[in-house]
Amino acid sequence: MGQSIAPILIGVVIVLIIAVGVLIYLVVTLQKKLRIFMNGKDGANLETTLSDLTSSVSDIQQTLGAHKEGLEFIDSRVKRSIRGYSLIKYDAYDNAGGEQSFASGLLDEYGDGYVLSVITNRNHVGVYAKKVIEGKPETSLTTEEQEALTEAKKPLDI
C-alpha cells in the first residue's frame, strides 16, 4: 500500500510545484503592474496624483456653482424681458391719419407688460399705456389694443 501512495503523492507534489510556480509568476507580474501604477506623472506617487485630482475637482465644483448662479440670474432677467410683442397699425380718424396710429403689445414670459397706443392726426398725438398682468389687461381695451394683446400673447402660449 505504501508503494501505491508514492506515485499519487509525487503527482500531487508536482501539481503543487506547478501551481506555486504559476502563483509566483502572477505575483511578480502583479508587482510590476503595481510599481507602474504607483508611479504617477513625472515620478509622483499615486497619493500625490489623487490629491491633485481631488483639488482640481473641488475647484471645478466651485466654478460650476458660480456658473449655475450666473445662469439662474440671467434666466430670471430673460424671463422679465420682452418676449411677446406686436404692432397693429390703423387709421384712428377715418382716412385723416394715414394709418399712423398704432397699438403695440409688449409682454414678458409671464404675460406681464403693457399695451401701448398712439393715436395720431394732423393736430394731435395721444400716447396711452395700459398695464397687463398675466395676460389680462387691468382696464378695458379698444379693438386694436385687444388685437395687439392677442398677437403679443401668441409666442408665450398664454
131-157 tens-digit pLDDT: 999 999 999 999 999 999 999 999 988
For residue 117, give its domain range.
84-156
Q: DSSP letter for 109, please.
A: T
CB 147 within 8 A of CB 88: yes
Give the confidence band of 123 by pLDDT, cuts at 50, 70, 90: confident
99 and 118 part of one domain: yes
CA proximity to 101, closest of 91, 111, 110, 109: 91
9 and 72 part of one domain: yes
Q: Which three cell numbers stand for residue 125?
A: 398725438
Residue with cell 394731435: 124
105 and 128 part of one domain: yes
CA separation for the pair 31, 119 (Å, rounded) = 89
Domain tally, the chain:
2
* pLDDT of amino acid 59: 94
- pTM of the predicted model over 0.85: no
CA proximity to 115, closest of 153, 155, 79, 76: 153
134 and 111 part of one domain: yes
Q: Which of 79, 106, 125 is the last residue of a domain?
A: 79
H or E, element range at 153: helix 143-153
Q: Which of 29, 63, 79 is the last residue of a domain?
A: 79
75 and 96 part of one domain: no
94 and 130 part of one domain: yes
Per residue in 38-95, pLDDT (tens digit) is 775 555 677 777 888 999 999 999 999 999 999 999 999 998 999 999 999 998 887 6
9 and 70 part of one domain: yes
* pLDDT of amino acid 13: 93
* pLDDT of amino acid 2: 54
